[in-house]
């Protein structure tokens, strides 16, 4: 098979996957949707840690804002420079 044919096959799979994902996203209801789930603890035996995801859908685009809410956990999840 050669490098060029392998790269072409990979490109084809990625293109096909992207097209399928665009169609699935376009079929979802437009708007903003949020979900919260919880880590069992902060890794140091502390309280459960909320993980919040907000998905904004618009046509073929989707934006996911995922964050860990800092509730004073003493572990790495409460780093001051955490992007959430």
pLDDT one-digit tens code per residue, 28-82 = 889 999 988 888 877 777 778 788 889 999 887 888 887 655 555 555 554 445 4
The predicted model scores a pTM of 0.54
Q: What is the pLDDT of residue 15?
A: 97
Q: What is the pLDDT of residue 20?
A: 94
Q: How far apart are CA 34 and CA 50, in angstroms?
A: 13
pLDDT one-digit tens code per residue, 6-16 = 999 999 999 99
Q: What is the pLDDT of residue 19?
A: 94
Longest dimension (CA), the chain: 55
């Amino acid at each position: 098979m050669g490098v060029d044919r392998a790269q072409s096959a990979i490109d084809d799979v990625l293109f096909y996957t992207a097209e399928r994902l665009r169609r699935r996203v376009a079929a979802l209801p437009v708007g903003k949707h949020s979900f919260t789930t919880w880590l069992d603890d902060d890794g140091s035996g502390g309280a459960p840690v909320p993980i919040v995801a907000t998905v904004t859908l618009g046509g073929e685009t989707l934006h996911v804002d995922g964050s860990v809410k800092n509730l004073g956990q003493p572990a790495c999840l409460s780093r001051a420079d955490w992007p959430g």
